[in-house]
């Protein structure tokens, strides 16, 4: 058998002569005498010495540790010359090669003063060197963590669970032709248009972001964070146009949406990949598809936005990838129809969805005959929440988990669509509902490459809302500002000044001025009615009447907090405590109804009516009086209906009633069922209709049209665990 060649080397720690097999050169080794770790190199003139081949271990050695020079260990204390050569270990295994002419060094060590201190120094030094080595090895991971914490966006070359970046060691792929800075923004943008407090249609839920209060109900801001952190869309490139945006809310009126969308699309670069979301009502009218803005009316196409117009704007946009996400036809069964809803998606609407322009992809929340479902405690809705969850990594459930995203990649809409649909099917299936999203359109056909040198897309200019004579409109709204009719909903005025459509200046001309003396019967009756409506509400009171409202609340000692719009199922045979509480609530509601009836009587007093007929009574106060009469009737209709539902529950718990039912919620319906409620409902609607005709294109007509569409009937609707 041929003998292995060895090379002589000197240990840099204890200066002992070592004999090393030639085929172990360039590997980390450790001196047995002093413990120094080194890597031997063979000089060109190094003499070769033959030796018997070593016996190698059968077990494969572990990966070698990083090569560094460890602190020297104190030599043995016993006297005697050092051996001419010493054995050594290869780092990580126990295989020893000893000199054939010298005995192995003694393992005995004598204690020496200060030895413990040297050991501590050695351990500390080793720890520092180890940490330093780890920092070098994992420097990119550390950088990724720091960048994510600061900017909310991972760098391009780091993604948990991903494969090596092309061009990096071990990737096996050719890298890009030009280097991309680690902090380069992804060429991705998003615009989220959402409409919530519709003037003439059913509201779309979105749990508000309250400063300092943790929100457990996923809302659109949660979706924004998912788009940023998981889809790599920079926060600076996510634009929100909404009446419910936490920063800079805008009324999503038709002109505002149209101008805002055009401005966003114009600022997109050729290399951008964009997503445009519309969250709100969509409606098929006369076989055509429309988006419904804040002031949109289902039966008036002049107030709606044609889907074909949106398609035309997207077709003109130069962005490399264009995705339109439509979350329309929203419906919450437990909420019911407070105002008219769009109903299921129509067949003709679906046909238009499936025919977008070339290069435009459309992702719809549901298919024909279906609605986009909302659930109790899930205000984001099943569709948008499924997208959020599909983007969220964790336990292998994220659609993009393990898939590195690069700057030149398209937004993986097909992958997200499939994952989100699976999640949504599970959510709606639990509630015995059906909702299947739809994806249509062609993939982008573009060879535009990512250019990190190009400046990021400019932020689009947001439209300016012109409501005519702003000062006069604000004064009118201050006169008639009221809380939401249904107590406990909202935290302020039912309709804000910023949510109103533009008013023609000429239409408001007759309402300028209008001061009334303090002893005016009309002024007192209108003001007292307004104070009472705020006093029974749980909403935040305007500053101009806060003192008066507080005084009334102290005397009244009851408000709409007693209205329990949901009742939990106590279980079979355990309804005694529930019925006791319901009986107490019914008594409190009866007290509120009594005080509202007195205010309505005051508005209809003969002295008040006589003053209204006088030529000196400003037209503005006449309109205020008419609106308060209508609003009091509507409030009474709602409370009488509520009182009737409490009476039903005292007789028997609502159906269905089994172990699967978590409870019942008061869902809205158009027609009142209670006899007293029907009487007030009829009077309210007649008065609202009169105002709409008498004062067109004014704040009174807008608010009256809204209230006239509000459902005052109610029914128990079961909700499930």
| Residue 345, in any domain of the structure | yes
The reply to whether 195 and 103 lie within a common domain is: no
The reply to whether 418 and 280 lie within a common domain is: yes
Mean pLDDT value across the chain: 79
Alpha-carbon torsion (494, 499, 503, 508), positive or negative: positive
What share of the chain has pLDDT > 90, as a percent?
Answer: 45
pLDDT tens-digit map of 349-370: 999 999 999 999 999 999 999 9
d(CA 129, CA 135): 10
pLDDT of residue 440: 97
Best-predicted range by mean pLDDT (172-186, 567-581, 627-641): 627-641
pLDDT at residue 151 greater than cutoff 70: no
Domain of residue 704 covers: 503-720
pLDDT of residue 137: 52
d(CA 65, CA 331): 61
Token pair for 6: 């060895």
Under the banding of pLDDT at 50, 70 and 90, the label for residue 441 is: very high
CATH classification at residue 329:
3.40.50.1460
The reply to whether 549 and 419 lie within a common domain is: no
| Residue 343, in any domain of the structure | yes
Under the banding of pLDDT at 50, 70 and 90, the label for residue 160 is: very low
* Domain boundary pick from 107, 138, 155: 107
d(CA 18, CA 86): 6
The reply to whether 437 and 525 lie within a common domain is: no
CB atoms within 10 A of CB 67: 13
What's the whole-number mean pLDDT along residues 453-467?
Answer: 86
pLDDT of residue 70: 38
pLDDT of residue 369: 96
| Residue 700, in any domain of the structure | yes
pLDDT at residue 434 greater than cutoff 70: yes
Count up the domains in the chain and report the number: 3
* Domain boundary pick from 426, 441, 456: 441
pLDDT of residue 140: 52
* Domain boundary pick from 90, 107, 124: 107
d(CA 27, CA 530): 88
pTM (predicted TM-score) = 0.70
pLDDT of residue 210: 61
pLDDT of residue 130: 65
pLDDT tens-digit map of 103-148: 444 444 444 444 555 556 566 666 666 666 655 555 555 555 444 4
What's the whole-number mean pLDDT along residues 500-519?
Answer: 87
pLDDT tens-digit map of 552-586: 999 888 887 777 777 888 877 788 888 888 898 88
Best-predicted range by mean pLDDT (75-79, 520-524, 580-584): 520-524
The reply to whether 94 and 196 lie within a common domain is: no
| Residue 473, in any domain of the structure | no
Element containing residue 32 per DSSP (H, E): none
Under the banding of pLDDT at 50, 70 and 90, the label for residue 173 is: very low
The reply to whether 267 and 366 lie within a common domain is: yes
| Residue 166, in any domain of the structure | no
The reply to whether 696 and 555 lie within a common domain is: yes
pLDDT of residue 352: 97
Exposed (0-12), middle (13-18) or buried (19+): which is 656, by Cβ within 10 Å? exposed
């Amino acid at each position: 058998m041929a003998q292995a060649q060895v090379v002589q080397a000197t240990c840099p720690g204890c200066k002992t002569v070592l004999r090393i097999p030639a085929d172990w050169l360039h590997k980390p080794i450790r001196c047995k005498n002093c413990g120094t770790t080194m890597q031997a190199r063979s000089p060109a003139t190094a003499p070769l010495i033959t030796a018997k081949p070593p016996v190698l271990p059968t077990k494969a050695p572990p990966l070698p540790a990083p090569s560094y020079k460890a602190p020297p260990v104190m030599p043995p204390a016993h006297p005697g010359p050092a051996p001419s050569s010493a054995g050594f270990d290869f780092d990580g295994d126990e295989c020893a090669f000893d000199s054939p002419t010298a005995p192995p060094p003694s393992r005995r060590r004598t204690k020496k003063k200060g030895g413990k201190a040297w050991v501590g120094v050695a351990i500390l030094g080793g720890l520092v060197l180890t940490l330093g080595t780890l920092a070098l090895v994992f420097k990119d991971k550390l950088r990724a963590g720091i960048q994510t914490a600061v900017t909310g966006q991972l760098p391009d070359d780091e993604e948990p669970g991903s494969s090596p970046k092309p061009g990096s060691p071990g990737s096996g792929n050719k890298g890009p032709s030009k280097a991309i800075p680690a902090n380069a923004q992804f060429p991705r943008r998003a615009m989220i248009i959402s409409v919530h407090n519709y003037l003439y249609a059913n509201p779309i839920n979105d749990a508000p972001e309250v400063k300092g209060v943790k929100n457990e109900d996923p809302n659109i801001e949660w979706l924004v964070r998912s788009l940023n952190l998981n889809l790599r869309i920079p926060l600076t490139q996510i634009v929100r146009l909404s009446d419910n945006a936490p920063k800079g809310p805008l009324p999503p009126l038709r002109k505002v949406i149209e101008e805002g969308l055009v401005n966003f699309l114009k600022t997109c670069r050729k290399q951008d990949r964009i997503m445009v979301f519309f969250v709100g009502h969509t409606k098929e009218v006369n076989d055509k598809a429309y988006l419904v803005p804040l002031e949109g009316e289902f039966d008036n196409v002049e107030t709606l936005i044609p889907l074909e117009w949106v398609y035309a704007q997207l077709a003109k946009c130069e962005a490399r990838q264009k995705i339109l996400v439509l979350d329309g036809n929203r419906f919450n069964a437990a909420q019911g129809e407070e105002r008219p809803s769009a109903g299921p998606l129509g067949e003709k609407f679906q046909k238009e969805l499936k025919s977008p322009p070339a290069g435009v992809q459309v992702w719809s929340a549901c298919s024909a005959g279906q609605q986009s479902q909302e659930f109790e405690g899930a205000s984001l809705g099943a569709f948008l929440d499924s997208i959020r969850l599909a983007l969220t990594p964790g336990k292998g459930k994220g659609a993009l988990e393990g898939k590195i995203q690069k700057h030149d990649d398209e937004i993986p809409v097909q992958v997200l669509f499939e994952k989100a649909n699976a999640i949504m099917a599970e959510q709606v299936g639990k509630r015995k509902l059906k909702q299947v999203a739809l994806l249509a359109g062609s993939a982008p056909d573009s060879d535009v490459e990512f250019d990190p040198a190009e400046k990021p897309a400019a932020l689009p200019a947001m439209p300016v809302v012109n409501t005519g004579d702003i000062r006069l409109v604000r004064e009118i709204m201050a006169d008639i500002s009221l809380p939401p009719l249904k107590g406990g909903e909202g935290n302020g005025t039912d309709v804000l000044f910023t949510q109103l459509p533009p008013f023609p200046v000429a239409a408001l001309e007759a309402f300028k001025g209008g001061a009334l003396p303090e002893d005016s019967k009309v002024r007192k009756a209108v003001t007292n009615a307004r104070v009472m409506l705020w006093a029974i509400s749980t909403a935040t009171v305007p500053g101009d009447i806060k003192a008066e409202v507080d005084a009334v609340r102290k005397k009244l000692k009851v408000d709409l907090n007693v209205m329990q719009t949901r009742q939990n199922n106590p279980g079979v045979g355990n309804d005694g405590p529930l019925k006791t509480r319901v009986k107490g609530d019914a008594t409190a509601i009866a007290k509120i109804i009594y005080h509202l009836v007195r205010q309505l009587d005051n508005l209809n007093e003969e002295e008040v009516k006589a003053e209204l007929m006088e030529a000196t009574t400003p037209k503005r106060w006449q309109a205020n009086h008419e609106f308060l009469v209508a609003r009091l009737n509507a409030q009474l209709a709602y409370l009488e209906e509520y009182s009737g539902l409490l009476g039903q529950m005292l007789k028997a718990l609502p159906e269905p009633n089994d172990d699967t039912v978590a409870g019942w919620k008061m869902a809205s319906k158009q027609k009142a069922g209670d006899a007293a409620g029907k009487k007030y409902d009829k009077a309210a609607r007649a008065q609202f209709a009169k105002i709409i005709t008498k004062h067109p294109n004014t704040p009174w007509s807008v608010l009256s049209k809204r209230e006239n569409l509000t459902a005052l009937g109610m029914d128990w609707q079961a909700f499930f665990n």
